[in-house]
Amino acid sequence: MIPRYNRPKIEKIWTLENKFKIWTEIEILIAEKLSDIGIIPKIAAKEIRKKAKFNVNEINELEKQTRHDVNAYIDNVSKYIGKHSKYFHHGITSSDIIDTGFSIQLKQTGEIISKELKTLLKNLKSKSLKYKNTAMIGRSHGIHAEPITFGLKLGSFYNEFKRNLKRLEFAIEEISICSISGPVGTYDSIDPRVEKYVANKLKLKSEDVSTQIIPRDRHAFFFSVLGIIASSIERFAVEIRHLQRTELLEVEEKFNPKQKGSSAMPHKRNPVLSENLTGLSRYIRSAVIPSMENVVLWHERDISHSSVERIMAPDISIAMDFSLSRLNEIVTTMKVYPENMKKNLSLLGGLHNSQKILLKLTKKGLSRQEAYSIVQKNAMEAWNNKRNFYDVLKTDNKLLKYLSKEELKNILEIDTNNSKIDWIFKNKIK
């Protein structure tokens, strides 16, 4: 990921320094348990704990020779340990360290994303309550439908991101896995008690059955959840982009005093933050298919997944962290225009009330088909000739057989469309 989108905490997780630090702690814990059960001398475990350290630059140089990152790491750490280094990395295979370490990095990532999601939920709920009764037109197919409130629209996003948080928490649990089972996962060269010890120390769970590597269905699930979160982010971003259009201007991203919208046109105030999120969401979702393809490896393992994960995991994690931070910025600073919402609500002269007339006619004894035909005829007249809906309805003699002008007026004037808003907020937006 380019530096433009890096935030320090998430970026640090994916540094070589952090990766080797995690590896070293895993190796130390393995040595501790091996000494505890009498496989290696206790002095060896103590010396490994005391002297194990690494140098990233030295490891990189060694890898040029070994063509194997873990062997380069082992050689480098062994140099610092000294004579007891023969007990370092005892009875285990590279995947034990790589995969357990990778689990920790993904867990660390998930925790940061989870925190950002919780902040987003707090912000969405606050804004949803603030605009609970701010009426606006609801749209289906982009066309005026019936009134809603802006608070209800935000409440929909609030509940969607609540589900995303639950998914992420489950995905973190699924990926918080320790696998230290040796070559081809048989524990033939490493006592299972070692895995249990390391898992407990690192707050992980032991893999049920390892094929030498942690099965990649876990990772596929994790990145799929990030893909779903990205889609939710994009849905919000696209909503803002639509509502900020000049002819609507119901909601607008914050425009800073010194901000410039266009290099050519000084008047422009573009929804650039939301557009940026739309693009980043596409990128995050691009990880879903490769992560699923990584599930399919040869026999007990190959490394076809490795290159994918080295690129994908840091970049997608960083993009997700940045996206949620930016979305929080949009939610907390966006400008809402209730007057424009009111203006757009009345743009069609009351046509959004057509269903209320339809339902009233059915209560008067008409079939639904008959009622629909009558209302649609009048609605099209109002639409085609840009007339007020009530003015058209009150001249329809067929309709007036069932509803008086006074009844029509009362139906159209009494706003019952949003009568259940309080109930929705009380029961569904918690």
Which residues are annotated as catalytic? 141, 262
End-to-end CA distance of the chain: 36
**Of 29, 30, 47, 131, the residue nearest 84 (C-alpha):** 47
C-beta of residue 42 within 8 angstroms of C-beta of residue 35: yes
Q: What whole-number distance in Å separates Cα of residue 375 and Cα of residue 358?
A: 6
Four-CA torsion 205, 174, 278, 325, nearest 10 degrees: -40
Q: What whole-number distance in Å separates Cα of residue 415 and Cα of residue 420?
A: 11
Four-CA torsion 359, 364, 370, 372, nearest 10 degrees: -20
Cα–Cα distances (Å) from 185 to 27, 94, 150, 215, in that order, read 17, 12, 55, 11
C-beta of residue 397 within 8 angstroms of C-beta of residue 415: no
Cα–Cα distances (Å) from 419 to 9, 34, 128, 250, 389, in that order, read 46, 68, 17, 22, 22
Q: Would you tell me the crossing angle of helices 217-243 and 94-130 to the nearest 10 degrees?
A: 30
Q: What whole-number distance in Å separates Cα of residue 245 and Cα of residue 270?
A: 9
C-beta of residue 10 within 8 angstroms of C-beta of residue 108: no
Q: What's the token pair of residue 80?
A: 């610092």
**How does strand 205-206 pair with strand 177-178?**
parallel
C-beta of residue 424 within 8 angstroms of C-beta of residue 418: no
Q: What's the token pair of residue 209?
A: 């059955």
Paired with 336 in beta bridges are: 251
Compute and round to an integer the Cα radius of gyration of the chain. 30
Residue that the structure tokens 């993009």 belong to? 319
Distance of CA 275 to the CA centre of its chain: 17
C-beta of residue 408 within 8 angstroms of C-beta of residue 390: yes
